[in-house]
Amino acid sequence: MHTWIKICGTTSLEDALASVAAGADALGFIFAPSKRRIMPAQAREIVRQLPEKIERVGVFVDESAEVISAVVEQVGLTAVQLHGTESPEFVARLRTHCVSGHSIRVIKTVLVDDDFEAQLKQFFQEDEDGDPFLLDSGYGSGKTFDWERVKPHLAKNAACFIIAGGLRPENVEQAVRTLTPWGIDVASGVEREPGRKDLEKLKAFVAAVRRGETMKAEGR
């Protein structure tokens, strides 16, 4: 199993290329209020210099469909990630948006709080073959959630999922072994300061994910 790895909060070409060299499958560009926010024009210049195989994900929080669509087109995004209170209807509408004849991937964030199981049912109970959802402890929180607590609920849901929140080279191997996620999303855990990546942390993070896959496959 190859775990999809997204390095989020990309703000420079240097960091983008370092993430790709380390083994990232996708890069995230934040277009919402954040220390790692980037303007569409800047993101476009980075995206045009990336290998074709790298997914380009735009992160939005309670933005209008019109603005999201415009940024997707301007930057050349292949996916969007929604971290706000977007409704299932809004998510479904965005999924019909096409870029060069292809629909875009829409990743909806579900916060791990007292209501998270209800959110899973609301968004994903009939979408087993659809886009993955993302589990997080909060937008930009940098904190882990209780992996063991959510594990039983995920076992009942056939949709694929991504985990985020407080992941770093020291703990991501255990996260992979505990939850066997479809994907991993990281920002602060591979930085030397907000918005600036650390090459050694990037390499260590990807290596830890791959170790977790191997150990899980071997039943360890």
Assign residue 202 the CATH number of its domain: 3.20.20.70
As a whole number of angstroms, the distance between CA 190 and CA 81 comes to 19
Known active-site residue 98: no
Catalytic residue among 98, 136, 185, 198: 136
The domain tally of the chain equals 1
Domain that holds residue 40: 4-217
**Which tens digits make up the pLDDT trace of 125-174?**
544 457 889 999 876 667 888 898 888 877 766 668 999 999 999 999 99
C-beta separation of 186 from 7 below 8 A: yes
Runs of H (alpha helix) within the chain: 13-22, 40-47, 65-75, 88-95, 116-124, 147-155, 172-179, 199-217
Vertex 107: Cα angle to 64 and 176 (nearest 5): 150
Catalytic residue among 8, 15, 25, 127: 8
Which residues of the chain carry a pLDDT beneath 70?
Answer: 97-102, 124-129, 139-141, 156-159
Question: Computed over its alpha carbons, how large is the radius of gyration of the chain?
Answer: 16
Q: Note the pLDDT of residue 96.
A: 76
pTM: 0.92
As a whole number of angstroms, the distance between CA 33 and CA 83 comes to 11
Spell out the residues 6+ positions from residue 115 whose beta carbon is closer than 8 angstroms to its own. none
